[in-house]
Structure 1
Amino acid sequence: MRARILAAVAAAAPALAHAAGPVFYGSIDAGVTQVNDLGGGHVALVGSGNMQPDRLGVRGEEDLGEGYKAVYQLETGFFTDTGAQLNPNKLFNRAAYVGLGNRYATLTFGRQNNFMFDMVARNSNAVVAGTFYAFHPGNIDDLTNAGAYDNAVKLVATPMARATLGAMLAPGEQAGDSARNRAFSLGANYVEGPLRAAVALSDVRNRALTLGQTTGIRSLLGRTLISGPAAAPLYSALAADRVRSIGASASYVAEWAVLHALHVQTRITAGAAEATMKSSELGVNFPVWQRFSVNVALSRSTLAGIRWDQFTLNNVYSLSKRTSVYAQAVLQRASGAGAVAAINSIGYASGRTQTALRLGVHQLF
């Protein structure tokens, strides 16, 4: 039983190890979601990239002799429901890097994920329970690939068998202002048998946050984010001088279930004002029998006096090692002055409660 659970967890998380290559791979996920309140009305959505993000890539390594190797990865994201690129301005929007390494460390250059995504997110409700809806309102804490850094230099070291350490820097490349647009990240990951634990930090300067569109917050830090009538709202991005996230997570594979927990804090600074978003999660995956699991997740996020509490249930049936069908139910409740519910990636509701029911198919290749 434990071996099957470990295999399921490994399949749920994006692969981080470099196989000898080239290896071509991808993920396709699509389904129908019924939302009770999206801007005031019921709606059925044909969406994609829920259980895992839709992506296509190639990665590999070359043996250079004497224990050294060259590594590389190119990965692009897309929307299965429309066939469009995830980011039309970046062909390889999820990853594009090359580097050198040995058994102790690897140094890479290019567009790369920070360690909030690489390490902390691997124990999150979204990854282990298998639903993008479980990421937090606004999606600003870098737990998703949306926080990847351009022009990054990344060092990952394994000083001992069970521990991995990482550091990366993306210089802002602004003449005369070395701090502008600069980003850096630090991380540590530890694996001991059934236990996995991680801590990480990400820090980004001069980042635009679209909190109005994603959370329904009308103003923050003295900035108006939503103006105009409800029927035709006008959105303004929050130009943050600095966004810093610090997170910790852990998971434990028991004989009867996978237990996982996470806490992350994101501080937003704009001028002399600042606000902190805090999110905590608990989840458990129950393998009902060999091919079927029931994944239950709870989370709470707070920002500027607003609180979002969410319950997520995901029932996954594996048709094979690569193909799964699933049924999800998500309930979110918001509280606080002016709060509205806002399940991640769906959009905000007109009221304090939002529910989503989804049926989907996921294929890995």
Structure 2
Amino acid sequence: MKRRRHQKTRGDMMKKTLLAATFAVWIFNVHAQGSMTIYGSIDSGVTHISNVAGTKLTRVDSGNRQPDRIGIRGSEDLGGGVKTVFQLENGYVTDTGAQLNPAKLFNRGAYVGIGNNFGTLTFGRQNNFMFDMVGKYSNGFLLGSFYAFHPGNIDDLTNAGAYDNAVKLVSAPISGVTLGAMYALGEQSGDSARNRAFSLGANYAAGPFKIAAALSDSNNRSLTLGQTTGIRTLLGRTLISGSAQAPVYSALATDKVRSVAVSGSYAMGPALLHALHVQTDISVAAATATMKSSELGVNYRITPANSLNLGVAHTSLNDMSWDQLTLNNVYSLSKRTAVYAQALHQRASGTGTVAAVNSFGYATGQRQSAIRIGVHHLF
């Protein structure tokens, strides 16, 4: 018996060795023919929130300073200035190890395409230009806080606006200008407009000054504004019913959601100033509700390793509004690892409006505050 177990163990080891060797040969061939990078981000920390559903809450949150993700991207030189490009990216949750979207392995992106000196054409699940261009100068991105994005997170400034079945064309920069267009097919037989989406974007960079503008337009999008903002009714639809102790949520089935935005930044010595304005129109039947958000921010580098980031934002939706102050102090231990401390406060206004910091869950009153400490590592 002992001899058989030993032989079985040796057989398992041989199989593992062969698998490892096969994988190593594959990796070698990929690098020999082109380039491939495995990359990712891990961010986790403790957040204490003053009011979520009427009580204080302390929890471990992940993906705050940057989204937790792991991906593979690469290219192959085809000659004559032409290359193949690809990317596969998965979002996950560090505090539980769960996949961010159980229905999509590569929920943050999955595409392949061809590029040359004039631009790149890609096909697959891809981000729109609200995220790719405008979002790069937002408080959420530059302050390093997912909490700094706007209530409901419906304006596509985060990766939540990725499109399936998308064809995307991005130009190479010309005199500092980059242009982009994307069209996502709805793939509904007999109704080509259903689930269809498109996006346009432009970015200009010249020395310390950068500016971007974008539009995203999607049909038949479902919005969970009840859960995320505490809004009970909108456009004649009931979003929250039942009692406060046992709420029942209904998604808002829209005909169209359209966002238009402009943002930019300007570097002045140790300071980076940035601003953004976005308008999102939500259409159901013949009715439309408009959400607008404006924000200002500054990143000030106290030392090469220490940055103090401050931002203010105002969001309105019909007669409801939310004002938020976000402060984040980031200390870099290396090029890839940072620790940070963050504080924020949001105040809501309007009859029945409650505070609802992005990703927290809504409060029972008009104020919501939080403090957080975290660790962020890139690889």
The amino acid of 1:27's aligned partner reads S
SS in 2 for 1:116: helix
What is the aligned counterpart of 2:53 among 17, 29, 39? 39
Could you say which structure has the larger radius of gyration? 2
Partner of 2:340: 326
Partner of 2:77: 63
Partner of 1:117: 131
1:145 matched to 2:127: no
What is the aligned counterpart of 2:372 among 336, 358, 364? 358
Partner of 1:248: 262
Matches within 5 A, 1:46-57: 46-57=60-71
**Preserved CA contact (<8 Å) 2:270 2:302:** no
**Preserved CA contact (<8 Å) 2:337 2:376:** yes
SS in 2 for 1:342: coil
1:283 matched to 2:294: no
1:93 matched to 2:101: no
1:304 matched to 2:304: no
**Preserved CA contact (<8 Å) 2:230 2:354:** yes
Say how many residue pairs are matched: 346
Matches of 2:51 and 2:194 in 1, distance apart? 39
**Preserved CA contact (<8 Å) 2:91 2:99:** yes
Matches of 2:251 and 2:36 in 1, distance apart? 40
SS in 2 for 1:21: strand
Structure 1: gaps of 5 or more residues:
1-19
- The Cα shift of 1:175 comes to 1.0
CA 1:159–1:331: 2 relative to 1, 3 Å: closer
Matches of 1:104 and 1:77 in 2, distance apart? 31
What is the aligned counterpart of 2:234 among 217, 220, 225? 220
Matches of 1:196 and 1:48 in 2, distance apart? 30
SS in 1 for 2:309: strand
Deviations 1:107-137 (A, max 9, x none): 0000000000000000000111100000000
Matches of 1:54 and 1:122 in 2, distance apart? 17
More helix by share: 2
Report the TM-score, using the length of structure 2 for normalisation: 0.91
Structural RMSD (CA): 0.7
The amino acid of 1:79's aligned partner reads V
- The Cα shift of 1:159 comes to 5.6
- Structure 1 runs of 4+ aligned residues shifted over 3 Å read none
1:133 matched to 2:141: no
1:339 matched to 2:349: no
Deviations 1:125-180 (A, max 9, x none): 01111000000000000001010000000000126141100000001111111110
The amino acid of 2:184's aligned partner reads A
Matches within 5 A, 1:91-240: 91-158=105-172, 160-240=174-254
SS in 2 for 1:321: coil
Structure 2: gaps of 5 or more residues:
1-33
Matches of 1:133 and 1:66 in 2, distance apart? 45
The amino acid of 1:264's aligned partner reads V
Matches of 1:150 and 1:271 in 2, distance apart? 24
What is the aligned counterpart of 1:292 among 286, 306, 325? 306
Matches of 2:35 and 2:150 in 1, distance apart? 35
